Amino acid sequence: MRLLVFLILLFGPSPALLAAENFDLTPVKKWIARQDEVRTVQADFTQTRAFRALQSPVAIPGHLWFSAPQSLRWELGDPAKAILLRNGDTAYLIQPGKKRAERLPADHLGGRADSRNSAQAFAMMKMPLAKDYADFNRQFEVLAVSTQENRCHLEIIPRDASAKKMLTALKLDFDTTTGHLLTFEIALRDGSWLRNEFSNVRLNQKIERRVFDFDLAGYEIVEAK
């Protein structure tokens, strides 16, 4: 279930706090408890973005590879328009079309809501977000939980005030039997939203190490501000 965690981090900054136990959170607790079982994740996804400025949403496909503890490749577009690549403490935001790579300092990998630049994009690289349910509970407030057959729908919001200023909710759907994340959505206060629908999810299958390498020869490499 680390997949859940880093996807939450992708769009929802971390910080602290308490939680309400007004919902039946049993499926969520079980789901989070299974995180440690995940060693690798591979998945395809379609990212759909809706903005107030647009008449209709726009969509783009993507792929991700994750290997515990801190290896990640997240590609947006096919062919990739943007690649977030992390290997241990080294991370890059790569834009192949521009032949440009931005090196992310270690303090940007924490995914704090107040990180200065592209916080949400960088945040996904903090792994894991929640060590356990208590940690999850400290960082997120649960807004709604509902389960229908094998599909659990969870709405949460980071307890961090600056994140709350931007977000109305983070929405996740996961399969209660397999633990697969089905969708992840971030809803913003201005009415826009961003949803990832996952498919072809493969857990704990071997991933070649070269997936987490990238040849930056010929790229302009800049330090992230």
Partner 1 sequence: MRSRAARWGWVATGGLLLLIYVVAGLSRISFNVDILKLLPTHLRQVEGLSLLLKHFAQSNELIVTLEASTAETAEAEADAIAAALAQQPRLVKRAVARPPWEKNPGELAELLAYLVLNQPPEEIRALAARLAPAQAPATLQATLDLLTESVSPQEIALRGYDPFDLTGSLAGIGLLTGAQQQQQQSEFASADGTFRVIYVEAAKPFGNYKETIAWMKEIQRVLAPWRDRPGLRLGYTGDPAFAASIAGSMEWDMASSGVMTLGVIALIFWLCYRRARPLLDLQLMLLLIFALTLATAGLFLRQLTVIGVGCAAIMIGLSVDYGYFVFQRSQLHGGTVRELQKQCVQYIAWTAGTTAAAFFALNLSSLPGLSQLGTLVGMGVLIGAVVMLVVYAPLTRRFQRRAAPRPPSVVECLVASTNFQRTGAWLTLAVVLVLLGALAVKGLPQTDFTDRPLRPRHSEAYAALERMEERLTDEHGLRSLVVRGGSVEETVARLRAAESRLAAAQARGDVVRYRSALPLWPDVAHQRANLPVLAPLAAEIPRLRQALRDAGFQDEAFALTESVLTQWSAWSAHALPVWPDNAASRWIFRRAVSRTADGQWLALGLVKPAAGREQALDDAVKNLDGVFLVSWSALGAELQRVIPREFLQVIVALTLAVLALLAVAFRSARAVGLFVATTALVFACLAGLMSLLGMTWNFFNLAAILLLLGTGTDYSILLLLALRRNGGDVPAAQRELGLVICLCAASAAAGFGTISWANHLGLASLGKTCALGLLLDAAISIFLLPVGWRILHRRSRLRPAAGA
Interaction residues for partner 1, span 127-166 (CB under 8 A): 161-162
The answer to whether residues 147 and 153 touch, using CB atoms and an 8 Å cutoff, is: yes
What is the rounded CA–CA span in Å between residue 45 and residue 30? 24
What is the rounded CA–CA span in Å between residue 35 and residue 53? 38
What are the structure tokens assigned to 108, written together? 């940007």
**217 in contact with partner 1 (CB under 8 A):** no
Q: Measured from the CB atom, is 194 or 201 closer to partner 1? A: 194
What are the structure tokens assigned to 82, written together? 């943007």
**84 in contact with partner 1 (CB under 8 A):** yes
Nearest-approach distance from CB 200 to partner 1, in angstroms: 21
Residue 104 DSSP class? P
Q: Which residue of 51, 133, 214, 219 would you call a contact of partner 1, by CB under 8 A?
A: 51
Nearest-approach distance from CB 28 to partner 1, in angstroms: 25
**222 in contact with partner 1 (CB under 8 A):** no
| Interface size with partner 1, residues (CB under 8 A) | 27
Helix (H, G, I), strand (E, B) or coil at 28: helix
Q: For residue 213, which of 90, 44, 124 has the smallest C-alpha distance?
A: 90
Binding-site ranges for partner 1 (CB under 8 A) = 49, 51-56, 58-60, 76-77, 81-82, 84, 93, 114, 116-121, 161-162, 192, 225
